[in-house]
């Protein structure tokens, strides 16, 4: 155990009952484990049930099938809404149905059940692909035609409207690129790197990645959930430093003997869209899309000063330590 593990935020959550949507996901499981360790009762919903983790099966667009009773929202004081279709590989109609309509329906169910706090997962993608380096929460979010960006912008509007109307206390979290052993930002790049086609990076890999290691991100969530000051606020949660995509993913290529190809963005985006669509039609799992390429071509990173000042957030796990953990995990999983 690293020395800084003893310095992690540890406010008591005894007496709290927290309900997580997307509870079986990479982030959901990590949050549940930490919240329980701090004394909270945690339960949740996901597409597949996990009785051992108090997770019921359900569709977030149909909360009437899972929200009632002691396995649902009854007695919960906080809902953390993580469930969403991630990335740009889904058609707009499907993504809107889950990411916007689903958010609205979970929110309504929480209000009807008397839940006090609703913590909504948006994304730094809400800033779009063109923004000033160091953008903070005052920088306007905007739709840009990217499916993931547009649905996250609209989902924020849904929950903030409910807060403004005094229906429920809302906090919006804009995570950076959450990574760590088992995350999509580890599994997918390594898988692509080991294919003959390699992992594509636009513009020489000079785009800026905004990582937040999973342990750091959960620290931020502990602080947000336990702080009354977080009510009505929006927070960027990242590691506080941007890194060139070529440097970040180059470390994974090195540990996996994988290949990275760089192309101009105007070539990389349509090529990734075409290849990703083809692979999905062939039944292969891939996150390749034009939106992914634009995401990997961002011009800068995001400020976490607000979370640092208001919540006392401090990222503790460095990229170097995180990559060492990823290497160990990938070897154990025989991915490399």
Whether the CA torsion 278, 181, 119, 44 is positive or negative: it is: positive
Q: Domain spans of the chain?
A: 3-179+211-241+300-317
Nearest-10 crossing angle of helices 102-112, 147-164: 20
- On whether the CB atoms of residues 220 and 311 are closer than 8 A, the answer is yes
Residue-level pLDDT at 2: 54
d(CA 285, CA 282): 9
Confidence of residue 70 (pLDDT cuts 50, 70, 90): very high
Write down the architecture of domain 3-179+211-241+300-317 according to CATH. Answer: 3-Layer(aba) Sandwich (3.40)
| Average pLDDT value for residue range 141-163 | 96
Which H or E run contains 108? helix 102-112
What single-letter DSSP state applies at residue 99?
Answer: I
Residues above pLDDT 90, as percent of the chain: 86
Q: What is the pTM of this model?
A: 0.94
Residue-level pLDDT at 229: 97
Residue-level pLDDT at 277: 86
Q: Is the pLDDT of residue 59 over 70?
A: yes
First and final C-alpha spacing in the chain = 24
Residue-level pLDDT at 331: 96
| Greater pLDDT, 6 or 124 | 124
């Amino acid at each position: 155990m690293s020395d800084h593990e003893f310095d992690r935020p540890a406010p008591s959550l005894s007496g709290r009952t927290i309900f997580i949507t997307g509870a079986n996901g990479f982030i959901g499981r990590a949050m549940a484990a930490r919240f329980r360790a701090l004394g909270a009762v945690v339960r949740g919903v996901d597409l597949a049930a996990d009785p051992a983790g108090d997770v019921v099966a359900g569709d977030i667009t149909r909360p009437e099938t899972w929200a009632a009773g002691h396995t649902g929202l009854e007695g919960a004081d906080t809902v953390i809404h993580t469930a969403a279709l991630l990335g740009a590989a889904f058609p707009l109609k499907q993504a809107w149905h889950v990411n916007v309509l689903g958010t609205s329906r979970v929110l309504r169910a929480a209000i009807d059940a008397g839940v006090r706090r609703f913590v909504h997962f948006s994304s730094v993608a809400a800033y779009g692909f063109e923004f000033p380096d160091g953008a903070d929460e005052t920088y306007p979010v905007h739709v840009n035609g990217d499916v993931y960006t547009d649905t996250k912008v609209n989902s924020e509007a849904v929950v903030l409207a409910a807060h403004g109307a005094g229906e429920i206390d809302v906090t919006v979290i804009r995570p950076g690129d959450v990574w760590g052993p088992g995350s999509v930002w580890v599994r997918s790049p390594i898988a692509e790197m080991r294919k003959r086609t390699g992992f594509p990076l636009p513009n020489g890999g000079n785009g800026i990645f905004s990582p937040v290691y999973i342990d750091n991100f959960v620290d931020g969530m502990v602080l947000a959930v336990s702080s009354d000051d977080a009510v009505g606020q929006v927070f960027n949660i990242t590691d506080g430093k941007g890194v060139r995509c070529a440097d970040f993913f180059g470390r994974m290529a090195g540990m996996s003997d994988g290949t990275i190809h760089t192309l101009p963005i105007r070539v990389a985006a349509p090529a990734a869209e075409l290849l990703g669509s083809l692979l999905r039609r062939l039944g292969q799992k891939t996150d390749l899309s034009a939106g992914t390429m634009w995401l990997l071509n961002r011009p800068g990173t995001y400020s976490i000063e607000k979370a640092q000042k208001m919540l006392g957030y401090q990222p503790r796990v460095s990229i170097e330590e995180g990559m060492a953990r990823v290497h160990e995990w990938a070897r154990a999983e025989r991915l490399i």
